[in-house]
Amino acid sequence: MSFQMARRAERMNPSIIREILKVTERPGVISLAGGLPSPDSFPVDAMRVASERVLRESPREALQYAASEGYAPLREWVAATMGGQGLDVDPDQVLITTGSQQGLDLVGKVLIDAGSTVAVERPTYLGALQAFAPYEPEIVSVPCDDDGPLPGELGVAKGARFLYLLPNFQNPSGRCMSALRRAQLADAARALGLPIVEDNPYGDLWFDTPPPAPLSTRWRDGSVYLGSFSKVLAPGLRLGYVIAPKELFPKLLQAKQAADLHSPGYNQRVVHEVIKDGFLREHVPTVRARYKAQRDAMRAALEHHLPAGCRWNVPSGGMFFWLELPEGVDALALLPKAVERGVAFVPGAAFFADHAKANTLRLSFVTVPPATIERGIELLASALKESS
Ligand SMILES: Cc1ncc(COP(=O)(O)O)c(C=O)c1O
């Protein structure tokens, strides 16, 4: 081959989730793998009305190139909404991104040098590892319990460029950090001079009580906060946002300009049109109710079908169960057997930067309806019983 790959390209790997999703496209396979929001939750009618309105009232502006920072009314909406959660934000600090995934890439581009250190949770979001990897960091993972990273262990992250945290209904573990843990982590990070990158796509999807305030509220100058419209509206819009301290914002903006000039202005206007008068106050509770019922269906199925020796959390929001199989069972080896039977999941090892636990796996409860969840878990249990 005549192309010589850049070092960063060598560090890029196909996402195991995308690879698994290809398999799950096979007809008849029940996918508990990808974190695909339920398509029944998409606000199709509201989107249609808003699209028509944008095309009627500001078609040329919506179809023209636009500001890299994002559509001003949408930035204002984000700032006001975050204010309601205790995070006092100036609209100038809000950068609209092409999904929060792009926010992770921009953060990596601006903060990581080859050989510098980035600290993550154990396990952590695979897409963040993918976003950071091309910038060639050394990744260290902080030991965690069911409440998130252990503040006493944060010393392993000393000198890192940042600590990447998912406080709400973490992907993949489903855990949600308590207010106390957030306070301890923010204090410990501040004492170490360790900036925090807080990623929160799932915080609105709580089932019984809202999660505690964002970690960023506890250390404003040392935190970058990422949000997304993917889980409360629809992921196909590819819209998210980064809230950054004012010293960091210009660099993120320049990185964004180089990446894609701006996120689709048409989508931004449509989303703003949908949400500006409080639509989410009515819509999000319907998504919560749907996902809670699906969470309950998965919990009941796990309790009913899974053999002794399996352990799982019960998530209080978000999209995922995290399952620990009996010691010695390899979830990656189990996957082809499960797919053969007609169910797919994501082996947990993919979510670890180091210290991978081969006996873990992630199950999404949002994509398919309760009866299909029940059947999927039954198939998983039969694959498991056969292989042990
Ligand atoms: C933790 C986390 N961060 C970021 C993203 C990216 O979301 P989006 O780019 O759709 O906003 C996801 C998607 O699943 C995620 O789970």
Residue 338 in contact with residue 380, Cβ under 8 Å?
Answer: yes
Three-state DSSP at 242 gives: strand
Three-state DSSP at 387 gives: helix
For residue 54, give the nearest of 271, 236, 261 by alpha carbon: 271
CA dist 191 → 154, 166, 221 (Å): 10, 20, 13
Place of tokens 């969840």: 373
Per-residue pLDDT at 24:
66
**171, 202, 233, 320: which to mutate for ligand 1, most atoms within 8 A of CB?**
171
Residues 6+ apart with CB under 8 A from 31: 21, 24, 343, 344, 364, 367, 368
**Ligand 1 atom closest to residue 104's alpha carbon, by position in its atom list:** 4
**Ligand 1 atom closest to residue 170's alpha carbon, by position in its atom list:** 1
Q: How far apart are CA 232 and CA 205, in angstroms?
A: 8
CA of 83 to the centre of ligand 1 (A): 22
Say how many C-beta atoms besides its own lie within 10 A of residue 258's C-beta: 11
CA of 199 to the centre of ligand 1 (A): 8
Ligand 1 pocket residue status of 360, Cβ below 6 Å: no
CA of 103 to the centre of ligand 1 (A): 10
Per-residue pLDDT at 386:
85
Backbone angles phi, psi at 177, to 5 degrees: -70, 140
Three-state DSSP at 138 gives: strand
pLDDT digit string (tens) for 182-225? 999 999 999 999 999 999 999 999 999 999 999 999 999 999 99
CA of 3 to the centre of ligand 1 (A): 32
**Ligand 1 atom closest to residue 230's alpha carbon, by position in its atom list:** 10
pLDDT digit string (tens) for 122-146? 999 999 999 999 999 999 999 999 9
Pairing mode of beta strands 196-199, 162-165: parallel
**Ligand 1 atom closest to residue 98's alpha carbon, by position in its atom list:** 9
The Cβ-side half-sphere exposure at 169, using a 13 Å CA radius, reads: 28
Ligand 1 pocket residue status of 137, Cβ below 6 Å: no
Residuewise pLDDT in 10s, the chain (388 residues): 689 898 888 888 776 766 777 776 678 899 999 888 999 999 999 999 999 999 999 999 999 999 999 999 999 999 999 999 999 999 999 999 999 999 999 999 999 999 999 999 999 999 999 999 999 999 999 999 999 999 999 999 999 999 999 999 999 999 999 999 999 999 999 999 999 999 999 999 999 999 999 999 999 999 999 999 999 999 999 999 999 999 999 999 999 999 999 999 999 999 999 999 999 999 999 999 999 999 999 999 999 999 999 999 999 999 999 999 999 999 999 999 999 999 999 999 999 999 999 999 999 999 899 999 999 999 999 999 987 6
For residue 103, give the nearest of 215, 271, 259, 273 by alpha carbon: 259
Ligand 1 pocket residue status of 99, Cβ below 6 Å: yes
CA of 339 to the centre of ligand 1 (A): 25
Ligand 1 pocket residue status of 171, Cβ below 6 Å: yes
Each residue of 134-159: b (16+ CB within 10 Å) or e? bbbbebbbbebeeebbbbeebeebee
Per-residue pLDDT at 258:
98
